[in-house]
């Protein structure tokens, strides 16, 4: 069941730093204010990066999950 | 975040250019202006017919470092030139060639990759750097 109305998705699985953030910044540029962006990543450093990126840019980190079985992080960000 | 990040790229090996590309893309993603000033061997690496070539590694990498870098590459790490292109797509990234280094290498802007926005001297670089940090790589 989808908990969020996702407007756009970024698949950054397999990408190393800083590409998950770069791809998300690109998606945020194209999104409308208030849109939810879902990001999938496998870079363990991305957890701190997404917190820092949202704090600096003003976008909101609405949710974050880790699928332990696959090592996949899922972030949901609300565009400023 | 309004003060620019000013990176002076001197070294032309792939490991240092990769590190510079990561710093550039990270800052661009945060909305921070980035000025790159290309000198010597870094400028040589930005020639349009050389940018996607193998530029080797810094001597301290050694054979073990070479293996680590090759492993990351095989795992699909984005090459530094492509990381720079994506950083430029985000906006706020200005790449200038050092005019003295252009003379040194006896090249003009037509020899450079389109990533390079122009040629300037060190005075213009410092003027644009304003109160932002200057990092030499």
Q: What is the pLDDT of residue B68?
A: 96
Answer yes or no: A74 catalytic.
no
Question: Is there a contact between B78 and A15 if contact means CB atoms under 8 Å apart?
Answer: yes
Per-residue tens of pLDDT for chain B, all 137 residues = 689 999 999 999 999 999 999 999 999 999 999 999 999 999 999 999 999 999 999 999 999 999 999 999 999 999 999 999 999 999 999 999 999 999 999 999 999 999 999 999 999 999 999 999 999 99
Interface of A with B in 15-74 (CB under 8 A): 15-19, 21-26, 29, 53, 56-57
- What is the tens place of the pLDDT at every residue in B59-96? 999 999 999 999 999 999 999 999 999 999 999 999 99
Q: What is the pLDDT of residue B86?
A: 96
pLDDT band at A4 (very low <50, low <70, confident <90, very high): confident
CA distance B30 to chain A (A): 6
DSSP string, B1-25: --SPEEEEE---SHHHHHHHHHHHH
Strands (E), B12-137: 34-38, 93-98, 118-120, 134-136
Most distant CA pair in chain B, distance: 41
CA distance A4 to chain B (A): 24
Token digits for B31? 């909305």
Token digits for A44? 């363990």
> ∠ CA B36-B113-B1 to the nearest 5 degrees?
25
Task: Confirm whether A1 is domain-assigned.
Answer: no
Task: Confirm whether A60 is domain-assigned.
Answer: yes
Classify B5-136 by CATH class: alpha beta
Q: Is B54 helix (H, G, I), strand (E, B) or coil?
A: coil
- What is the tens place of the pLDDT at every residue in A22-54? 999 999 999 999 999 999 999 999 999 999 999
Question: Is there a contact between A19 and B25 if contact means CB atoms under 8 Å apart?
Answer: yes
Give the CATH number, domain containing residue A44. Answer: 3.30.110.40
Q: How far apart are CA A11 and CA A39, in angstroms?
A: 6
Q: List the helix and strand counts (H, then E) for chain B.
A: 6, 5
> Looking at this predicted complex, what is its ipTM?
0.85
The domain of A44 spans: 6-78
Task: Confirm whether A67 is domain-assigned.
Answer: yes
Which of chain A's residues have a Cβ under 8 Å away from the Cβ of B91? 29
Element (H, E) at B115: none
Q: Which of A6, A9, A16, A17 is flagged as catalytic?
A: A17
Question: Domains in chain A: how many in total?
Answer: 1
Q: What is the dihedral of CA B124, B82, A15, B25, to 10 degrees?
A: 10
The pTM for the full model equals 0.92
Residue of B nearest to A30 (CA): B90
């Amino acid at each position: 069941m989808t908990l969020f109305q996702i407007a756009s998705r970024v698949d950054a699985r397999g990408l190393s730093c800083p590409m998950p953030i770069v791809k998300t910044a690109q998606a945020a540029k194209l999104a409308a204010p208030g849109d939810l962006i879902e990001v999938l990543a496998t870079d363990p450093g991305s957890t701190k990066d997404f917190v820092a990126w949202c704090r600096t840019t003003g976008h909101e980190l609405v949710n974050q999950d880790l699928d332990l079985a696959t090592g996949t992080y899922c972030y949901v960000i609300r565009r400023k | 975040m309004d003060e620019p990040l000013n990176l002076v790229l001197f070294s032309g090996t792939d490991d240092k250019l990769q590190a510079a590309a990561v710093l550039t893309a990270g800052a661009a993603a945060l909305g921070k202006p980035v000025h790159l000033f290309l000198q010597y061997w870094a400028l040589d690496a930005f020639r349009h017919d050389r940018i996607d070539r193998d530029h080797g590694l810094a001597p301290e990498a050694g054979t073990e470092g070479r293996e680590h870098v090759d492993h990351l590459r095989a795992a699909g790490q984005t090459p530094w030139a492509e990381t720079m292109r994506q950083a430029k797509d985000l906006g706020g990234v200005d790449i200038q060639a050092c005019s003295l280094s252009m003379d040194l290498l006896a090249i003009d802007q037509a020899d450079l990759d389109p990533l390079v926005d122009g040629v300037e001297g060190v005075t213009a670089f410092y003027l644009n750097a304003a109160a932002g940090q200057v990092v030499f790589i």
